[in-house]
Amino acid sequence: MFKKIQKLDDKVIDNIIKYRSPLKNRIMIAASSAGNMGIIWFAICMPFLIYAPWRPTGVNIIFSLAFTQLLCEVILKHIVRRERPVWKLPDQEQLIHRPKYYSFPSGHTSASFCVVAVAFFRCQPLVVLIILFCAVMIAISRVYLRVHYLSDVLVGMVLGLLCGSASVQIFNHLLQAFT
């Protein structure tokens, strides 16, 4: 089964080059960069933290990001140790620097989708759609830039949604316990 997944992943990576253009390259680099160190998610979180009625949502987002980071970046990447597709490509084919850590699961994607999950439970539909759009763009950019395989991103989405949903439940329980 893993060989079939790897074969599909390799096919997607090999075909990405057909869809590149200078404009798409700039868009995807910007989308990926927005996800670096969760920059976009902390920026989105600021209004929630500043405005008192929204503060529990902001704190829940940060809690969710920390929970997801621990699971995906600290634990799973170092257990699976999957090489990134970009590690196999020549330097002239790179649009961004080569990440030095492992590929599976996608940390950018898992972080993005944990915020989607929190927003789904705590925010108005328009806010959820904006956050979902940003998350999808970041996820697509990671495959487009060939720093992740498709399966890394798909698993990152699932893990992010699960971690975000779990964090809402945990956070709700903590809120009840301390109020």
Query: What are the residue boundaries of the structural domains of the chain, listed by start?
Result: 21-177
Tracing tokens 């253009």 back to the chain, one arrives at 21
CA distance 49 to 55: 5
Does the domain at 21-177 match CATH 3.30.460.10? Answer given as no
Q: Is the pLDDT at 90 greater than 80, yes or no?
A: no
How distant is the alpha carbon of residue 79 from its chain centre?
Answer: 19
- How confident is the model over 97-117, as pLDDT tens digits? 777 788 899 999 999 999 999
Phi, psi angle pair for 39, to nearest 5°: -50, -50
Contact 96, 145 (CB under 8 A): yes
Q: Give per-residue pLDDT as tens, 116-130.
A: 999 999 999 999 999
Question: What are the backbone angles phi and psi of residue 20, rounded to the nearest 5°?
Answer: -80, 150
Do residues 111 and 36 lie in contact, with contact meaning Cβ atoms separated by under 8 Å?
no
